[in-house]
């Protein structure tokens, strides 16, 4: 009933916008990373023609990121922080999502509202809240002193890895719990009942029915929070600020905003994106499949 050009025509402005301000900018990063540095002004001179690319800076950055290089430590630390945070988030998030999806009845709506609330509280506000609590004269230190667990205020904010991990978990866990909840909520209860009727213990029913059926939610949620965590730099800056807890994002931030070496910063951005492309690809394919299923219904 509609003319054939109508739908591509509707899509056109948005696609054009994303090409100009999402695809082209990414090419700008590539151009700068494979460019040269002005010897006098020390500013980046991008090279747009792929045939003339200067691989020197990207190579150097890659070497520094390899074992033995100075950025290797940062890379390993970033992976450690992200994986520990993922593990902790799952350990806390899965039982919460499971309880709300399977057991909460009267309190379900209240719990869902509380679950969604952190989405709409500014991330910076939530970090500020913890900085207040963990300050030398904050509630946490005063409580620990009151309970005689410590004598002197503990420097939670003086570059502790554990504080950064806590902040990462606190910051990103809502984005994990919601997909987990959605996948657990979708599970047909009769499948679990069938397992129980056939003699499985509650634990075995969970292990062999619920857990496999929530696998997409677990993987999707983990990817969804791992991606921003890998690119995070403000969380470590807010709750630690020490170089001993800096992540890859902090290095990129430093190259652009402190040492003015955008070429290395761009090279690092490219390498980070390449590293994350597997995760992004997994997520995009899952979403594309889900969308196709929706359309076919």
Partner 1 sequence: MSDAALPTAHAPTASLWQRTHGWITNPWGRPRFLVLITWGYMVWAIVPVIIAIQFSFNETRSRTIWSGFSLRWYTWDPSDSVMNDPSLRQALAQSFKLAGADVLVAVPIGVALALGLARWRGRGSGTSNFIMLFPLVTPEIVMGVSLLLVFTHIFTFVHTGTLAQILGHVTFSISYVVVIVRGRLFSIGRQYEEAAADLGASPGVALYRVLLPLLTPAIVASAAIVFALSIDDFVISFWLSNGGGTVTVPMQIYAATRAAPLPSTNAIATIMVAVTLLTVLAGFLVYRVFTRGERVAGGGMVGDMAAFDI
Does 69 bind partner 1 (CB under 8 A)? Our answer is no
Alpha-carbon 143 to chain mean position: 32
- Out of 165, 252, 254, 264, name the contact with partner 1 by CB under 8 A: 252
Return the SS3 of 214: coil
Per-residue buried b or exposed e for 215-231, using 16+ beta carbons within 10 Å of the residue's own CB: ebbbbbbbbbbbbbbbb
Does 265 bind partner 1 (CB under 8 A)? Our answer is yes
Instruction: State both tokens at 201.
Output: 């213990």
Residue 113 Rama label (left phi>0; alpha psi -120 to 50; beta):
alpha
Q: Considering just the CA atoms, what is the radius of gyration of the chain in Å? A: 24
Does 219 bind partner 1 (CB under 8 A)? Our answer is no
Rounded Cα gap, residues 210 and 192, in angstroms = 7
Does 190 bind partner 1 (CB under 8 A)? Our answer is no
- Out of 237, 245, 246, 261, name the contact with partner 1 by CB under 8 A: 237
Does 99 bind partner 1 (CB under 8 A)? Our answer is yes
Closest contact distance (angstroms) between CB of 68 and partner 1 is: 26
Q: Are 195 and 209 a contacting pair, CB within 8 Å?
A: yes
Alpha-carbon 172 to chain mean position: 7
Does 143 bind partner 1 (CB under 8 A)? Our answer is no
Does 152 bind partner 1 (CB under 8 A)? Our answer is no
Does 203 bind partner 1 (CB under 8 A)? Our answer is no
Does 65 bind partner 1 (CB under 8 A)? Our answer is no
Closest contact distance (angstroms) between CB of 273 and partner 1 is: 5
Does 228 bind partner 1 (CB under 8 A)? Our answer is yes
- Out of 96, 187, 213, 242, name the contact with partner 1 by CB under 8 A: 96
Does 79 bind partner 1 (CB under 8 A)? Our answer is no
């Amino acid at each position: 009933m509609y003319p054939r050009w109508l739908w591509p025509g509707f899509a056109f402005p948005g696609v054009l916008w994303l090409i100009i301000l999402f695809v082209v900018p990414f090419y700008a990063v590539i151009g700068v990373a494979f460019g040269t540095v002005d010897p006098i002004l020390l500013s980046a001179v991008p090279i747009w023609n792929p045939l003339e690319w200067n691989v020197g800076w990207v190579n150097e950055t890659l070497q520094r990121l390899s074992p033995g290089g100075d950025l290797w430590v940062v890379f390993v630390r970033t992976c450690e922080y992200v994986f520990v945070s993922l593990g902790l988030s799952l350990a806390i998030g899965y039982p919460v999502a499971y309880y709300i999806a399977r057991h909460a009845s009267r309190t379900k709506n209240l719990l869902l509202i509380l679950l969604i609330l952190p989405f709409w509280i500014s991330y910076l506000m939530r970090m500020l809240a913890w900085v207040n609590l963990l300050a030398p004269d904050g509630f946490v230190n005063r409580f620990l002193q009151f309970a005689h667990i410590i004598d002197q205020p503990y420097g939670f904010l003086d570059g502790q890895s554990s504080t950064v991990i806590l902040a990462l978990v606190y910051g990103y866990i809502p984005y994990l719990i919601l997909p987990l909840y959605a996948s657990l909520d979708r599970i047909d209860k009769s499948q679990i009942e069938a397992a129980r009727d056939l003699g499985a213990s509650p634990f075995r029913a969970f292990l062999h029915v619920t857990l496999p059926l929530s696998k997409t939610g677990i993987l999707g949620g983990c990817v969804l929070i791992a991606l921003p965590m890998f690119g995070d730099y403000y969380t470590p800056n807010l709750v630690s600020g020490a170089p001993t807890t800096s992540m890859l994002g902090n290095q990129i931030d430093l190259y652009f905003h402190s040492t003015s070496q955008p070429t290395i910063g761009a090279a690092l951005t490219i390498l980070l994106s390449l590293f994350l492309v597997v995760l992004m690809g997994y997520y995009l394919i899952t979403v594309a499949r889900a969308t196709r299923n929706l359309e076919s219904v």
